[in-house]
């Protein structure tokens, strides 16, 4: 069952019912809760094309500092301590930095996304965020129906020049570091990576990881697959075990709750080193998580929310490079040799300076 969360609720009754479930699964119903916010400061964005076809609808075009209300649609549960938890982290940052009232809905099924966008837009939210490129189609549809509401899709390239924007990172720059550690930790010379769905952002994740592994060891054998589901741990575990059978002795992934299946596989095969993502979640499985790629997008999502608050929002696609002031791009643990960690930080500095240029490749395998 999905959960609906909000902070600092106004005296507001919510009538709509959201149908949602795990990504790609069957729906279950619940009522969304609302929220309301404050404050301001601008940010940067680059504009992009196309006028929306629109029917006028609810919400103020330029909300006052006291009116900012944000809703975030998540594909899975924040218990993943990864991608969905990063959406929750963004909500908390918007609350603390902007005074925003934020609600989020977990476990929204892809077929139900447009209805969920519409429900939030019709309830007076100023900004509705789809946390994942799989929520692009619903945002495009809802943006045309609600021209006075702002929409943002994370890890997408969609924009309409007015009320629909998207953000993405040059994810290959962060993933290059994870792949580098993966390559350094492998003794067999074979590593494995498992993803959920393949679209441009996840393909770039895959190829960035592979480039990093091959930078660490030019002879590395890099195995990869997409299970078709970010949330299913059973599929992820089966995929990981198939790679172990082919000789992989270090593993990584781009999954949500599916990550728990990969952790099980790593443990079952002699505690193979595992590189996770988003935040330092070593405590989830201290026997196997050797490092995490530190790539939270909360900071970037909050920057866009700030533009809604101050009235400078643009319906643009914005891409963020790995900033020089980011801090460590990977976490250090007792399972990671000190020299490998230091080498990874040196690689990070070279990426930020432009000395190393990971290639951006959005090609899905077999396409």
| Chain center to CA of 54 | 28
Query: Is the pLDDT reported for residue 5 higher than 70?
Result: no
Residue 29 reports pLDDT greater than 70: no
Spatial CB neighbours of 232, under 8 Å, sequence gap ≥ 6: 22, 257, 258, 261
The percentage of residues in the chain with a pLDDT greater than 90, rounded to a whole number, is: 81
What tokens appear for 68 in the block?
């900012």
Digit-coded pLDDT (tens) for 63-77? 444 579 999 999 999
Residue ranges covered by each domain of the chain: 4-170+297-320, 171-296+326-353
Q: For the residues 111-118, what does the mean pLDDT come to?
A: 98
Conformation bin of residue 107: beta by default, left when phi > 0, alpha when psi is -120 to 50: left
pLDDT tens digits, residue range 207-235?
999 999 999 999 999 999 999 999 999 99
Residue 23: is its pLDDT beyond 80?
no
pLDDT band at 367 (very low <50, low <70, confident <90, very high): low
Is it the case that residue 34 has pLDDT exceeding 60? Answer: no
Residue with token string 């792949």 = 179
pLDDT of amino acid 36? 32
CATH class given for the domain over 171-296+326-353: alpha beta
Among the listed residues 144, 106, 152, the one whose alpha carbon sits nearest the alpha carbon of residue 125: 152
CA atoms within 13 A on the CB side of 84: 25
| CA–CA gap between residue 22 and residue 173 (Å, rounded) | 29
CA distance 154 to 246: 34
Judge whether 208 and 322 are in contact, CB under 8 Å.
no
Asked if the model's pLDDT at residue 123 lies above 90, the reply is yes
| DSSP summary character for residue 269 | T
**What 3-state DSSP class applies to 195?**
strand
24-42: average pLDDT: 31
Q: Does residue 332 register a pLDDT over 80?
A: yes
Mean pLDDT in the chain? 85
Least confident of 30-34, 148-152, 295-299, 308-312: 30-34
Token pair 């949602």: residue: 20
- pLDDT 10s digits, 170-204: 999 999 999 999 999 999 999 999 999 999 999 99
Q: How confident is the model at residue 366 (pLDDT cuts 50, 70, 90)?
A: confident
Of 226, 243, 244, 191, nearest to 367 by C-alpha is 226
Q: Do 171-296+326-353 and 4-170+297-320 fall under one CATH topology?
A: yes
Distances (CA, A) of 104 to 17, 38, 264: 14, 18, 29
As assigned by CATH, the class of the 4-170+297-320 domain is: alpha beta
Cα–Cα nearest to 112, from 54, 30, 57: 30
CB count, 10 Å around CB of 324?
A: 10
Predicted confidence at residue 66, as pLDDT, reads 53
What is the C-alpha to C-alpha distance for residues 196 and 154, in angstroms, rounded to an integer?
Answer: 16
Enumerate residues 6+ apart whose C-beta is below 8 A from 288: 263, 266, 267, 271, 272, 273, 274, 335
Residue 3 pLDDT: 38
For residue 265, pLDDT over 70 is answered with yes
Distance CA 220, CA 149 (A): 48
Residue 351 confidence class, pLDDT cut points 50, 70, 90: very high
Instruction: From residue 172, give the alpha-carbon distance in Å to each of 13, 72, 205.
Output: 44, 25, 6
Q: What is the pLDDT of residues 37-60, one digit of tens each?
A: 323 332 333 323 333 222 322 333
């Amino acid at each position: 069952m999905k959960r609906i969360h909000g902070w600092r609720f106004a005296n507001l009754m919510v009538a709509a019912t959201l149908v949602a479930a795990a990504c790609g699964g069957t729906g279950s119903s619940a009522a969304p809760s609302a929220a309301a916010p404050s404050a301001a400061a601008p940010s940067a964005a680059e504009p992009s094309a196309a006028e929306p076809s629109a029917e006028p609808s609810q919400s103020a075009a330029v909300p006052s500092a006291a009116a900012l209300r944000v809703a975030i649609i998540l594909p899975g549960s924040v218990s993943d301590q990864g991608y969905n938890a990063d959406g929750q982290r963004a909500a908390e940052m918007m609350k603390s930095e902007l005074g925003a009232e934020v609600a989020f809905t977990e476990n929204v099924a892809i077929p139900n996304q447009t209805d969920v966008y519409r429900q939030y837009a019709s309830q007076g939210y100023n900004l509705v965020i789809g946390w994942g490129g799989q929520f692009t189609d619903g945002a495009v549809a809802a943006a045309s129906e609600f021209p006075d509401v702002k929409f943002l899709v994370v890890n997408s390239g969609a924009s309409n020049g007015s009320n629909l924007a998207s953000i993405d990172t040059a994810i290959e720059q962060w993933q290059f570091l994870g792949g580098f550690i993966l390559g350094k930790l492998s003794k067999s010379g074979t590593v494995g990576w498992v993803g959920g769905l393949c679209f441009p952002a996840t393909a770039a994740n895959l190829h960035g990881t592979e480039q990093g592994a091959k930078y660490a060891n030019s002879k590395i054998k890099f195995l990869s697959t997409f299970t078709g589901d970010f949330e299913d741990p059973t599929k992820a575990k089966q995929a990981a075990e198939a790679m172990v059978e082919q000789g992989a002795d270090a593993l990584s992934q781009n999954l949500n709750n599916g990550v728990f299946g990969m952790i099980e596989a790593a443990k079952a095969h002699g505690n193979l080193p595992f590189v996770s993502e988003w935040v330092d979640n070593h405590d989830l499985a201290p026997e196997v998580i050797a490092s995490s790629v530190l790539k939270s997008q909360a900071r970037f999502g909050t920057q866009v929310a700030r533009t809604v608050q101050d009235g400078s929002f643009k319906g643009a696609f914005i891409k963020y490079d790995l900033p020089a002031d980011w801090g460590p791009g990977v976490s250090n643990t007792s399972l990671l040799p000190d020299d490998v960690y230091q080498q990874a930080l040196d690689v990070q500095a070279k990426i930020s300076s432009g000395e190393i240029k990971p290639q951006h490749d959005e090609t899905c395998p077999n396409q």
